[in-house]
Amino acid sequence: MKTTTNCNRRKFLKYAAIGIAGAVTYPSWTQAAGKFTRVNTPSDDFLPDVEIELTMNTADVAILNGEKTRVWKVTGKVITGDSNILDNNEGTYLAPTLRFKKGQKVRMILNNDLPAQSILHWHGLHVPANMDGNPMYAINRGETYIYEFEILNRAGTYFYHAHTHGVTARQVYSGLAGLLLVSDDQEHALHLPSGDHDVPLVIQDRSFDGQNQLVYSASMMQRMQGFLGDRILVNGRPDFVLPVATRAYRLRLVNGSNSRIYKLAWDDGTPMTVIGVDGGLLEKPEQHAYVMMAPGQRRELWVDFSERTVGAELTLRSLQFDIDMHGGMMGHGMMGHRRGMMGGMMSVSTLPSGSDYPILKIRVAKKEQGDNTLPKALTPITELQTKNAANANNPKTITLSMEHMSALLNGRSYKMDDIQPDEIIPVNSLQLIEFDNGFDGGMHGMMMDMPHPMHLHGEQFQIVKREVSAHVTDNYATVSAGLIDGGWQDTVLVMPGEKVTILKPFNDFKGLFMYHCHNLEHEDMGMMRDFLIK
Ligand code: C2O
Ligand code: CU
Ligand code: CU
């Protein structure tokens, strides 16, 4: 990291806190703000319904009492379209919330005014390869990348975030992530709670130092486990309280954390009514005692507060669960050593993963009459059939492993432009893919068992089945009732000792589409590869 010599301690602290976010830093004279060089050009035959300019910059926002926090902030401006499609979430590090309709043609003009390279990726959207924010498209300070695509996705809660080679975790942690909500006619016809009664809730964990600056420590141990902050923030705010009226709400939960997995439940035992997942609404509402959410996942809840009294409170908690991360060492005579090592890793956060802690509080603030009926059926979903997969009898296996301080897919680490024969997929084909995380003794030697939220770029997929090894069933039982596997998904949690099979369509677009672990520290450690669709 480069630093200037004449900065005072205060400035240095701020710089140090944020300097972690980029491997490459540029002197400030590189480019004056507002003057950006385009690395690609808008196309003449693309007529946008919506045109938005997004600028990434540093900003100081008031998160905690006292000193402001230096963050990396995306600020947006609508150039063409209704001004209410964009909300800058001012005063927080969250990137603007963008609201699009299915079928809209969108142009986004991304300016980089950060002291580092960066690029944004539209998580969950089905867009052309060169519009997808692959790290190879990262732009320098003073440069502009122009995205043009049509919103092909169905209504749902999508999001976007930095996807910069080797520093995605640091950049997302510093603030480079925001919501992208898509609506469509099918969803509209259901008359779900809308407007003030449709509330996105981005859940993240952060750590702050004594000067209120973000702390990101990337020791090898913390990267192996994934960074865990010691405070929960919701929509960029600590101690989040949501005031509600006595009626039904739609809550769109997004796990925007780097590595933290949540087991969410209402503290009074009310079942969670799940209506949507990554790729939009389910076929029908489902009730679960708790809902698991891995990094990158979205889960939509329907909650009715009409029976509650004004002044009543309800807390959303993350409940205790077990992941035996040294399970892979069983029977290899190394358990004592591994346990000691994992013990050290568990203590990296004062808020350990799998412990019991509050996420947010809901306070019933006023009486209000609303339409509180939950539709029995939501949206029809055509079930993909294994027999229609191009490789129906020959699933593409992706083994997940962590060993020798690296995180690998099929034993490989991420490399740009390194397509192997088994990573080539014919366009317009349906593929059967299995993620093997040490299923039935697949682990060996010095490997470490970890849960891995596996994400694939491009089209949403469906989960076909889960297979669990006998030696992990006790731990698995502490999470399994909260895995919501229906509907369309783009990120699936693969637990230690488990194999998950999915069916994924690769339609319309040729080129490179990534698949990776959405534990962002694992991703940066190399647990990421490209598929070449051709
Ligand atoms: Cu949300 Cu490739 O990532
Ligand atoms: Cu993605
Ligand atoms: Cu992982």
* Residue 14: predicted pLDDT: 38
Name the DSSP class of 84: G
Which residues have CB atoms below 5 A from the ion given as ligand 2?
A: 123, 457
Q: Nearest ligand, CA of residue 400?
A: 3
| Whole-number Cα distances in Å, 470 to 70, 441, 494, 523 | 48, 10, 15, 28
Amino acid found at 19: G
* Residue 10: predicted pLDDT: 34
Q: Using CA atoms, how far apart are residues 469 and 438, in angstroms rounded to an integer?
A: 8
Closest atom of ligand 1 to CA, residue 514: 2
Q: Nearest ligand, CA of residue 168?
A: 1
Rounded to the nearest angstrom, the distance between the alpha carbon of 39 and the centre of ligand 3 is 33
Are the beta carbons of 160 and 176 closer than 8 angstroms? no
- For 196, other C-beta atoms within 10 Å of its C-beta total 10
| Whole-number Cα distances in Å, 114 to 25, 448, 468 | 9, 36, 45
Are the beta carbons of 526 and 178 closer than 8 angstroms? no
H helix count then E strand count, the chain: 7, 32
Nearest to 438 by CA among 408, 468, 407, 477: 468
Nearest to 397 by CA among 428, 421, 422, 429: 422
Amino acid found at 90: E
CA neighbours closer than 13 Å in the CB half-sphere of residue 326 = 17
Nearest to 387 by CA among 464, 291, 470, 328: 464
Task: Output the tens digit of pLDDT for each of the chain's 534 residues.
Answer: 333 333 333 333 333 334 444 444 444 444 444 589 999 999 999 999 999 999 999 999 999 999 999 999 999 999 999 999 999 999 999 999 999 999 999 999 999 999 999 999 999 999 999 999 999 999 999 999 999 999 999 999 999 999 999 999 999 999 999 999 999 999 999 999 999 999 999 999 999 999 999 999 878 888 888 999 999 999 999 999 999 999 999 999 999 999 999 999 999 999 999 999 999 999 999 999 999 999 999 999 999 999 999 999 999 999 999 986 654 433 333 333 333 334 334 446 889 999 999 999 999 999 999 889 999 999 999 999 999 999 999 999 999 998 877 899 999 999 998 999 999 999 999 999 999 999 987 655 556 789 999 999 999 999 999 999 999 999 999 999 999 999 999 999 999 999 999 999 999 999 999 999 999 999 999 999 999 999
Phi-psi region of 213 (alpha: psi -120 to 50; beta: other; left: phi over 0): beta
Dig out the tokens for 256 from the structure. 């925007």
88 SS3 class: coil
Q: How far is CA 311 from the centre of its chain?
A: 33
Closest atom of ligand 1 to CA, residue 523: 2
Q: Using CA atoms, how far apart are residues 77 and 88, in angstroms rounded to an integer?
A: 8
Ligand 1 pocket, Cβ-based, cut-off 6 angstroms = 121, 123, 161, 163, 296, 455, 457, 514, 516, 518
* Residue 517: predicted pLDDT: 98
Give the global pTM: 0.91
DSSP character string of 160-229: EEE--TTTHHHHHHHT-EEEEEEE-HHHHTTT-S-GGGEEEEEEEEE-B-TTS-B-----HHHHHH----
Rounded to the nearest angstrom, the distance between the alpha carbon of 394 and the centre of ligand 2 is 25
Rounded to the nearest angstrom, the distance between the alpha carbon of 67 and the centre of ligand 2 is 34
* Residue 349: predicted pLDDT: 80
Q: What does the mean pLDDT of the chain come to?
A: 90
Side-by-side strand order, sheet with 37-38: 37-38, 143-150, 105-112, 50-61, 69-80
